[in-house]
């Protein structure tokens, strides 16, 4: 376990998306183009609703808009054609309306990555830990970024069952750094590669809490760390709160993660996260 003190801010890991370097803490806004999202239950599934959500996120201070066309958990089958239908037009429209924003797409499929890169995406957010190794090749071919995550070998859209690790943080660090180095070797710009421990993906609540406590070990790798903890089950289980009552817990985890070196924060509440992180930044100044 790390014994390094996070009291003094560590140097920022290089990060550049859409030709820009975000500040110390970058907000990634969630836009779910899905009818069955665990959080908004399809509120932004329609094209106009998704575009309005992206507009709102930009107005509230998002640095990145992350567009997803497939619910993370189990649910109705979404094939490649349907995922493409859900995300490509939204990416193109957000690119036209907000040329300065960084656009991310939450996908593990290389075919989708290829199409959204052509439509203007700047980042491919592979939350399932690399089940399709061609996705990194797509990012390299288009000169865009890649999020390298850890799901413990879990297949996309499945839930962990009695998952165990000798040391979950060591397993995360080993996997995401290997994926990041592979992506860089393929030609993905090093300053456009992020690592994500992927809380709750292939992990139980105890694992997600341990990752949060030891997030400085991921930051110490030198790769910029993305945390996607917004309203997740580990927060709900820890606090005994339903999904619509996890906002305060989310902000607490964001604050701890920021202090321990996280750089990018994927959230549903952009305005709230921006205020919370501004407070952390002032405290660490």
Residues annotated catalytic, as ranges = 232, 266
Among 200, 195, 157, 199, which Cα is nearest to 70's? 157
- Say how many C-beta atoms besides its own lie within 10 A of residue 77's C-beta: 7
Secondary structure element (H or E) that encloses residue 185, with its range? helix 168-186
Distance between CA atoms of residues 240 and 258, nearest Å? 24
Is the distance from CB of 176 to CB of 198 less than 8 angstroms?
no
User: Torsion-angle region of residue 70: left (phi > 0), alpha (psi -120 to 50) or beta?
Assistant: beta
Name the helix (H) or strand (E) containing 106: strand 102-106
Strand partners, 193: 146
Cβ-proximal residues to 103 (8 Å cutoff; 6+ apart), any chain? 18, 64, 65, 67, 91, 94, 95, 120, 121, 122, 123
Cα–Cα dist 217/212, whole Å? 10
First to last CA, the chain: 26
The Cα 228–Cα 225 span in angstroms is: 10
Element (H, E) at 123: strand 123-126
CA distance 94 to 67: 10
Q: Which residue has the tokens 């490509």?
A: 88
């Amino acid at each position: 376990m790390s014994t390094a003190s996070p009291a003094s801010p560590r140097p920022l890991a290089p990060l550049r998306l859409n030709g820009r370097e975000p500040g110390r803490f970058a907000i990634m806004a969630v836009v779910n183009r899905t009818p069955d999202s665990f959080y908004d239950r399809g509120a932004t599934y329609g094209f106009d609703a998704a575009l309005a959500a992206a507009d709102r996120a930009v107005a509230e201070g998002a640095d990145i808009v992350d567009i997803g066309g497939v619910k993370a958990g189990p649910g109705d089958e979404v094939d490649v054609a349907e995922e493409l239908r859900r995300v490509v037009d939204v990416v193109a429209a957000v690119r036209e309306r907000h040329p300065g924003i960084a656009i991310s797409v939450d996908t593990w499929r290389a075919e989708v990555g290829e199409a959204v890169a052509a439509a203007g995406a700047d980042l491919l957010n592979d939350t399932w830990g690399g089940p399709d190794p061609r996705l990194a090749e797509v990012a390299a071919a288009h000169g865009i970024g890649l999020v390298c995550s850890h799901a413990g070998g879990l297949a996309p859209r499945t839930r962990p069952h009695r998952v165990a690790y000798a040391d979950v943080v060591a397993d995360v660090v080993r996997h995401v750094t290997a994926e990041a180095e592979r992506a860089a070797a393929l030609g993905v710009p090093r300053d456009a590669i992020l690592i994500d421990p992927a809380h709750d993906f292939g992990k139980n609540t105890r694992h997600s809490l341990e990752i949060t406590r030891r997030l400085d070990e991921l930051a110490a790798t030198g790769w910029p760390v993305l945390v996607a903890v917004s309203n997740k089950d580990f927060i709900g289980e820890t606090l005994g709160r339903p999904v619509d009552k996890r906002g305060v817990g989310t902000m607490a985890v964001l604050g701890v993660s920021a202090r321990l070196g996280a750089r990018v924060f994927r959230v549903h509440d952009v305005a709230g996260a921006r205020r919370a992180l501004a407070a952390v930044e002032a405290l660490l100044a």
